[in-house]
Amino acid sequence: MKLRVKFSKHGVLKFIGHLDVMRYFQKAIRRAGIDISYSAGFSPHQIMSFASPLGIGLESNGEYMDIEVNSLTSSREFMNALNAQMAEGIEILEVRLLPDNAGNAMASVAAAKYTVAFRKGYQPSFLSGQAVADFYAQKEIMVTKKTKKSESTFDMKPFIFACCLDETNGSIILTVDASSAGNIKPALVIKAFYDYNHQELDEFGLLITREETYLNAGTPEDVRLEPLGFAGSEY
């Protein structure tokens, strides 16, 4: 049986990298006594995959992993058993049984929603609903994306699905492409916002939380985003 597990990651655990999170879950699953499936071969490993690795320093309310199990009493018992093994900072929020033809979580990712807040003393003086709206209203948002091996300049606007200011707490709400082809980091959008206002960004001042991860339930041309955990059923 294939299961999709939604979890949150907060506090000091935001500084734990993806590979360590994966090893953490492998050990927690063994301690919880979950009947997880293993791969065949000389060195069998737990059948587990994560939707989209979270960057170090980011918190999240919408992380997903897929696992396969040989037996399952109920998703509620699974969730309780795994939560009993969780350290402070990670919580299992939901477990769904996937159909046999369900796509791999990582391959299904289309977008992610983020809340970008600012540390005390770092909130920009030019921040307003109108300033964010003017930035997003541009026909093009040209940025330079750097990697270890290359540097490229491109129009980021088609990869930003939503951008607005939450007037209640002064945070910027972003929904951006998170697919393997796009994968826009929220800090890159905020840097472009600062550049648009002729200001220098100090990334230390950003507090970024991934709120949800989405799949595209429409077509590549007609994007219709739904939470990644939607494609399943409670058991």
Whether residue 9 is found in the same domain as residue 92 = yes
Residue 227 burial by CB count (10 A; 0-12/13-18/19+): exposed, middle or buried? middle
Residue 172: the pLDDT is 97
Whether residue 50 is found in the same domain as residue 154 = no
Q: Which of 78, 51, 57, 46 is nearest to 15 (CA)?
A: 57
Please tell me the distance from the alpha carbon of residue 60 to that of residue 21, in angstroms, as a whole number: 13
Q: Is the pTM of this model over 0.85?
A: yes
Q: To 10 degrees, the CA torsion angle through 100, 101, 107, 109?
A: -90
Span 63-83, average pLDDT: 91
Residue whose tokens read 């890159």: 188
- The reply to whether 235 falls in a domain is no
Whether residue 186 is found in the same domain as residue 132 = yes
Q: Which of 37, 180, 59 is nearest to 111 (CA)?
A: 180
Whether residue 126 is found in the same domain as residue 216 = yes
Host domain of residue 32:
2-107
Q: What is the mean pLDDT of the chain?
A: 90
CATH of the domain at 54: 3.30.70.580
Contact 196, 138 (CB under 8 A): yes
pLDDT tens figures, 94-129:
998 888 777 777 788 999 999 999 999 999 999 999
Q: How many whole angstroms from its chain centre is CA 129?
A: 25
